[in-house]
Amino acid sequence: MRNKYFLLLFLAGVVLSSCSKSDRGEVLGIQQRGFRAELPAGMVYIPGGSFLMGQTDQDITFAQIAQTKQVTVSPFFMDQTEITNSQYHQFINWVRDSIAITRYMNDDKYYYKPKNGDAAGNQKYINWEYVKRNPIWSARKGQNNNAGRLQDMYYKGDDQLFGRNEIDVRLLKYNYATMVLRNASDARFDKTKKRSDFIFRDTVPVYPDTLVWLNDFAYAANEPMVEGYFSHPSYRNYPVVGVTWRQARAFSIWRSRYNDAYKDSRHMPHRMPYSLPTEAEFEYASRGGRIGTDYPWGGPYIKNAKGCLLANFKPGRGNYTDDGGAYTVNVRSYFPNDYGLYNMAGNVAEWTLSAYDESASTFVHDMSPTFNYEAKATDPEVLKRKVVRGGSWKDIGYFLQNATRSYEYQDTAKSYIGFRCVSHFVGRDFRDKR
């Protein structure tokens, strides 16, 4: 009798548990894994809000093309510092290794082995965990030396210097494809368009132009910067320069894919993609939550109470070392602004996602404003201008102001322009722990 009683209880439990999984004919939504917002490494959270974008009352220079406008920006994450040489080297090394494996190694050990035969239709995927454990450029004890198979990646013949094996950086190109959502939206009722019409594909040489230290300055003995700035470990935590706007965007897309691959390997949801900040996002973040101020630290002065300069720029008539650095400085130099962001003014000016138009403030929306244009190779140069913000080590104080905007062409590289990334935040306020 007791056994029957326990059997009935067991069956009742099974029925109740099965009922709890049933929606009983109600629309309850699909089951999904919970998502908790995470702070991306090296970034800070920028809360959304409204601000008066543009010059303050004191800034009358160029006021005729810099009208103020009340705008609202949604929350996002932003790199605490400019992208460093070390971080950009990681991008280059990934491109270098992927090219070496796919074009020169011809070794299946570096690829994932499909569990169910050739389920991917001859598509191979590099096993980066295996690559990390088995470096292809330096032979460890018990490993094969790959030097013979990789010889075609080095400079040869007259291009070789002192008999050294140096990677031919002209081979280092990153291929990517991304959706141009604005174009898709504009043509959403055009039945002649296909999805492929809105996919933008690009191949970008990723190695920075180290000759910018000579190209940008006539009759200046900057050869040591050419030879050491990007390659010497002493500069590893200095901002990367010599990168074009296209290279900066390629880095942000690679960074997204790199994180996505990690999340996929652990069946985790993706975070929002990385990108360059829009012009409005950069100015909003630069202000650090302050209202009507001239500089990221407030202002109206460029020196603190002790007489110390608060950024890396060209003070006075050109006493570059007055601020602590003749050229660029470590990305964590000086005090951060109230959002915890370093060098939003000075050190290096920074690429933004926005295209440059003198009158953009008059026609962009007041909610997350930006003017974007995907310039074609055949377009005139005026359509290839991208907004540059923040001022640099070689600029005078005017360019350090929060509202000052300038531009550079998307295919040009400079010794005074770098970049940082943002990742947009979705969901409730990141600071809300309830």
Confidence of residue 376 (pLDDT cuts 50, 70, 90): confident
Is the pLDDT confidence value at 153 over 60? yes
pLDDT in tens, 355-372: 999 889 889 999 999 999
Is the pLDDT confidence value at 289 over 70? yes
Residue 409 pairs with which residues in a beta bridge? Answer: 385
Residues 6+ positions from 364 with CB-CB distance below 8 Å: 370, 371
Ranking 23-27, 50-54, 335-339 by mean pLDDT, the lowest is: 23-27
* pLDDT value, residue 63: 53
The whole-number average pLDDT for the span 291-308 is 89
* pLDDT value, residue 429: 60
Residue 355 identity: A
CA distance 167 to 152: 9
E strand intervals along 137-269: 173-179, 199-205
pLDDT in tens, 175-192: 999 999 999 999 999 999
Nearest to 228 by CA among 130, 328, 339, 136: 328
Residue 230 and residue 240 in contact, taking contact as beta carbons nearer than 8 Å: yes
pLDDT in tens, 205-250: 999 999 999 999 999 999 999 999 999 999 999 999 999 999 999 9
The whole-number average pLDDT for the span 131-154 is 78
Nearest to 350 by CA among 47, 79, 31: 79
Confidence of residue 19 (pLDDT cuts 50, 70, 90): very low
178 — phi, psi (to 5°)? -145, 155
Is the pLDDT confidence value at 162 over 60? yes
**Domains contained in the chain, CATH given:** 44-84+207-424 (3.90.1580.10)
* pLDDT value, residue 201: 94
Nearest to 61 by CA among 403, 417, 302: 403
Q: What DSSP letter does each residue of 324-372 carry, written as one string?
A: T-SS---TT-S---TTS-S-SSSSSEEEEEEEP-TTHHHHS-SBS----
**What average pLDDT is seen over the chain?**
88
Alpha-carbon separation of residue 249 from 12, 29, 254, 419, 422 (angstroms) = 59, 37, 9, 9, 11
